[in-house]
Structure 1
């Protein structure tokens, strides 16, 4: 089996991959990959830090460069309704198009080219890593995968050709055209909805909420399996009204069968003075989501008991039991409830 991390390599061979989704505007180029729509002067990079303008062309600096490669339980992403109990080979690079003050992966999301060891990989390498680890899918995660677009799309195609699935763990901050290009390439997305107010996105993340909602709605429309994560940060995004508004949007603009993962915050990066999320706050969010009609609600980063299990929304039967990342399927008939035949929005 291959080592999951190799020594530092030169970025020169991969830094010359021309980016997609940009146009010239005078002596600058306008990137149209994410909603920042950066106007980039010659020799400069966009806000993500990994797309560079050189003499009228935009280049994807991290094409084929990985910071992290590791096999994970698919539940760790988290995906609870996509290939439960399977292994996914996870890849991350560097950079991000948001600037979250609470980022738990800031060592790679804020890293710059040349600052850390990166491993050169090809699409064929991605498939080989998956096969050697026994993975059934490839996950683009750890940092923001949408800014790695040129590589993840080509490598996901190679994964599909090899009989594997491909997933994104993403902030959903992407424009419509590149998102549409993911149809048929990315099978599942866990979209991290950071909060449900524009003020939080502007102040804490340096972004905007509206494009994330639009991208989530489009992903569902495109037939991509979508699960949502909402990290509850005390006194920042955990007010009951905000949680209710989030749940109402899921029910009315997505679907009541889209799984929601409410996760506990732990102090990190620039928000070390904020306390951990209480179990009571998470339980309240769980109950309000269920009251709003959301069929599959889960709690993360705490011991959740049966709130980590999947129950049939039609008859209430427990169909999947979880303990940590250990999964035991019970009362399933294919992807449906074995007792009543109820739909579970489950991809096995």
Structure 2
């Protein structure tokens, strides 16, 4: 629904039309083995080539539901400039699905590449071989969501078909790109051992056992709300099955308080990367991605400094407005949108609170004159209670609850959430005819 015939010419209706550019972490994209903890600039469009019944991004993926308030306009140059100004080393093409604004993605990714920025493509990958050929020169990381290994499921639930997804995944892997695959384990539909074995066979036989594989927890959404979140024990079983099949790196997604998001050496069991939610910390890797203990290749690509942001121990003396948010239920991440309408640069500050073992320093986010910026804060330890944001005079801010890995559109905190442990707002209301 995002292309049209204009006097015999096929034209794009969504070139440069995006949800708000947002700083997140690379873990939001089911990417664990490339620059753990890296800050990324997430860019999402409107429209999608699929129509999954459980879509977490349905308000923007399905063009007829898009609202003007959720749409911003960017040029390729502006996207790259945002990343450079905020010292973000990775641009992620994500949310609805980057396939549908292919022209903008290819053009902007090439510009970013020339500026020394890495490009990440998070996609369901229902895409043609020829389009993939145009992506390969400019995309560094492919995080591919394989919705199911059952062709009938694909037709019924996603309205697409499986074969080109698998072929395309193999195509980028054979091209030497960094590839990670994930599958959403939908409660009572695809959260079984058969799914785990089928995905494990595909990764192990058509890609390679070292390709990171993610089993992701589902939450009810869009047209599929009369159900419950995926039981965690089913996810843990799927991971066990895949690892017994010989896959080296198998993880769970949208799950907290589990060791199944930790990377351990497959040879000596040394902990290499610890993760909590959308946060990661490198603890046992060499700069070239090998185990510090035994030297085994852990299949990592590292970007030194990609995760850092300047922090100070205490706030400056000038007047700042404070807003705090406490984690609750399954809402353990927050989008903070800040705007600087003034003609001079401003600085916003953010800190986490509640965990006595973690120093409460203030991270600094610089805003250019006239800039609107959005960034994620995600729970980083089990004892952490929430975040506080400090806004300078003349600036505005809003806080938006995020369920699981980041989705769009989010709702402002004042709107609440539909159910802390089941389904986020906005809720899909089917049209009665």
TM, length-normalised to structure 2? 0.67
Partner of 2:337: none
Counterpart-to-counterpart distance in 2, 1:303 and 1:168: 25
1:103-114, aligned counterparts within 5 Å?
Answer: 103-112=55-64
Bigger RCO (CA 8 Å, 6+ sep): 2
**1:193-232 counterparts in 2 under 5 A?**
193-232=146-185
Query: 1:68–1:93: 8 Å Cα contact kept in structure 2?
Result: no
Q: Displacement, 1:281? A: 0.2
User: Are 1:66 and 2:4 counterparts?
Assistant: no
1:54 corresponds to 2:23: no
3-state secondary structure, aligned to 1:53: strand
Instruction: Give the deviation of 1:224 after TM superposition.
Output: 1.6
Which one of 232, 248, 258 corresponds to residue 305 of structure 1?
258
| Aligned mates of 1:71, 1:106 — CA distance in 2 | 21
Q: Structure 2: 5+ residue runs without aligned partners? A: 303-433
Q: Distance in 1 between matches of 2:79 and 2:214?
A: 28
- Once the 2 structures are TM-superposed, how far is the Cα of residue 113 of structure 1 from its aligned partner? 9.3
Question: Looking at CA atoms only, which structure, 1 or 2, has the larger radius of gyration?
Answer: 2
Equivalent residues in 2 for 1:1-348 (5 A)? 49-112=1-64, 115-117=67-69, 118-334=71-287, 335-348=289-302
* Runs of 4+ in structure 1 over 3 Å off: 112-115
Instruction: Point out the more displaced range, 105-114 or 255-264.
Output: 105-114
Give the SS at the match of 1:167.
strand
The DSSP-based 3-state class of the residue aligned with 2:21 is: strand
**SS across alignment from 2:96:** coil
1:18-64: CA deviation from partner (whole Å, max 9, x where unpaired): xxxxxxxxxxxxxxxxxxxxxxxxxxxxxxx1111122211111111
CA RMSD of aligned residues (A): 1.4
Cα distance between partner residues in 2 of 1:164 and 1:271? 38
> Which 5+ residue runs of structure 1 have no aligned equivalent?
1-48
Contact 2:2 2:63 in 1 (8 A): no
Q: Which moved more, 1:176-185 or 1:236-245?
A: 236-245
Contact 2:257–2:276 under 8 Å retained in 1:
no
